[in-house]
Amino acid sequence: MRFIDAEATRAALPFPALIEALRALFASGCEVPPRQVLEVAGAGGEGDTGMISLVMPAWLAGRCYGVKVVNIAPGNAALGLPGLHSSYLLYDATTGVPLAAIDGDEITARRTAAVSALAASWLAPIDARQLALIGAGRIARLLADAHRAVRPIDRVSVWARSPAAAATLVGELAGRGIDARSAESVEAAVADADIVSCATLAREPIVRGEWLRRGAHLDLIGSFTAAMREADDACFVDAAIYVDTREALVKSGELLGPIARGVFAAGDIRGTLEDLARGRVGGRRSSEERTVFKSVGSALSDLAAAMLVHRSVAGASMP
């Protein structure tokens, strides 16, 4: 059994290779049972709120079986610790032999950014050059490199609630030779953007449809609970809407709210990544069409990333 740390995991997941691994597995498919949500009670001490553990399995019959465990401990902030930790275990699906223990945080961050880029490969304008990043956290810091793997992005605008965080990200991008700037407002950041990519923890809309240019692609990452939103209802009006999986329709406030208000119906969703990868639906239809992609994450994406890590580190094909 190999133990693969964060640095090795990161090195094994360059975005061009990861995006193609995701494309292939969405096309071929795998078994993805519903995730389990476990409430782990604390010991009862002051500030000990316990934790939530998410168990996310996926497997390819006769080949490999993987499980990601994500532990969310709200009380960690008071201890000076990150609130989220995750790990990934990969097994031979026939014998049950453990193959690898992999850094789950790196898998999650990089596959999340790569999923957005995979969707953009079908949905963003083919000549997209300007990217707006809304947010400056761990995922947002990866999105420019991910999108540059599928589109000729050469200009990036950044807005974040923390101007210091936005300035830091701009500096990182500039250090990699990207023309990057901080924006004073969300409206200014998205005004001329071909792709608008949001990775925040917002609970109220921060992007308005009236600010988006005609033909823009809106990539929504942050809303993974019913109480979260990044985009207002106008963002969805007359737009072609896609999701990573149908699970988004029952999990994300980004979709639940507008559906409840009659802005669009669940049946109006044009397709999923599986539909796109298998050619059951097409992507962008014209340069004038506005597209929206909403992701909530899938154990399929984790498995694709874990298989790529193991193949890269072990130097051999999967079972």
What is the percentage of the chain residues whose pLDDT exceeds 90?
84
R_g of the chain computed on alpha carbons: 19
pLDDT at 44: 60
* Mean pLDDT over the full length of the chain: 93
What value does the mean pLDDT take over residues 154-166? 96
What value does the mean pLDDT take over residues 122-129? 98
The strand pair at 64-72 and 51-60 is best described as: antiparallel
Separation between Cα atoms, residue 151 and residue 176, nearest integer Å: 17
Query: Does pLDDT of 35 surpass 90?
Result: no
Could you read off the pLDDT of 206-256 as tens digits, one per residue? 999 999 999 999 999 998 888 889 999 999 999 999 999 999 999 899 999
- Name the least confident of 37-51, 108-122, 141-155, 159-173: 37-51
What is the percentage of the chain residues whose pLDDT exceeds 70?
97
Q: Could you tell me the pLDDT band of residue 41, with boundaries at 50, 70 and 90? A: confident
Smallest CA-to-CA distance from 94 within 65, 128, 136 is with: 65
Q: Where are the domains of the chain?
A: 2-107+300-314, 112-297
What value does the mean pLDDT take over residues 100-116? 97
Query: Does pLDDT of 318 surpass 70?
Result: no
pLDDT at 111: 97
The pTM for the full model equals 0.93
Query: Does pLDDT of 258 surpass 80?
Result: yes
Q: Do domains 2-107+300-314 and 112-297 have the same CATH topology?
A: no
- Name the least confident of 65-74, 180-189, 191-200: 65-74
Please tell me the class of the 2-107+300-314 domain. Answer: alpha beta
pLDDT at 291: 98
Q: Could you tell me the pLDDT band of residue 45, with boundaries at 50, 70 and 90? A: low
Smallest CA-to-CA distance from 105 within 90, 120, 83 is with: 83
pLDDT at 226: 87
Q: Which amino acid is at 105?
A: D
Q: How far apart are the first and last CA of the chain?
A: 14
Fold of 112-297: Rossmann fold (3.40.50)
